[in-house]
Chain A
Amino acid sequence: GAGVSQSPSNKVTEKGKDVELRCDPISGHTALYWYRQSLGQGLEFLIYFQGNSAPDKSGLPSDRFSAERTGGSVSTLTIQRTQQEDSAVYLCASSFSGSGGMSTGELFFGEGSRLTVL
């Protein structure tokens, strides 16, 4: 696609429910990132994909959070048993990675998925 696409743009759920957030990166971008941004705060790194593998998942806050990427393209971030503190905007970004796995290219962000846990 022309840009990074995220869905849903808004999600309201009840505490304890599972949610799935989807990211469709720019075609050809091998690097994909998930970030979380709470209201008025900076971006918090969650996980990084290079192709379908996740060399760095150190930012996932708990085992309720998981992510996968298939076909080197679409990624899904899953939050199980959601808690109120999970409420935030979840941003996805992609870039074209240079050799050696370094992300040297420009990072393109989606518009985010705003999650509200009641």
Chain B
Amino acid sequence: KNQVEQSPQSLIILEGKNCTLQCNYTVSPFSNLRWYKQDTGRGPVSLTIMTFSENTKSNGRYTATLDADTKQSSLHITASQLSDSASYICVVSAPSSNTGKLIFGQGTTLQVKP
């Protein structure tokens, strides 16, 4: 069964600290992996998209890594800010000519405290 598991479920850190969020998936075959940020009451916003051939991709203070062999991805946030408080969702896409279904993780809720 295609699954995406994220950890931790929630995380609290102090402003200015770094943190790393984990995503493990069993989706196979695999097309790409995406990280989204969802602020409370808003729609998710894309942070990064990586294909199986990419190992790392950065977007400002956000750096995503991907190990397609172990089926693991991480999202590293550097020098956290209060505005980073949000839910971070890992999404894996399985190639298909008929469906566009994306497999969503349950998300990690990050709270950055001053």
> Which residues from chain A sit less than 8 Å from chain B, CB to CB?
4, 31, 33, 35, 41-43, 45, 48, 50, 55-56, 58-59, 91, 93, 95, 97, 100-104, 106-112
- CB pair B106–A42 under 8 Å, yes or no, is yes
On chain B, the residues within 8 Å of A104 by CB distance are: 31-32, 93
Indicate if B53 sits at the interface (CB-CB under 8 A): no
- CB pair B105–A42 under 8 Å, yes or no, is yes
On chain B, the residues within 8 Å of A109 by CB distance are: 36, 43-45
CA–CA, A101 to B101, complex, Å? 11
On chain B, the residues within 8 Å of A4 by CB distance are: 43
Indicate if B49 sits at the interface (CB-CB under 8 A): yes
- CB pair B106–A41 under 8 Å, yes or no, is yes
Across the interface, name the chain B residue whose C-beta is closest to A106.
B46
Across the interface, name the chain A residue whose C-beta is closest to B4.
A42
Q: A42-B106, A107-B34 are in contact. Are A101 and B43 (CB under 8 A)?
A: no
CA–CA, A109 to B38, complex, Å? 10
Shortest CB distance B83–A (Å)? 18
- CB pair B106–A48 under 8 Å, yes or no, is no
CA–CA, A109 to B32, complex, Å? 18
On chain B, the residues within 8 Å of A108 by CB distance are: 46
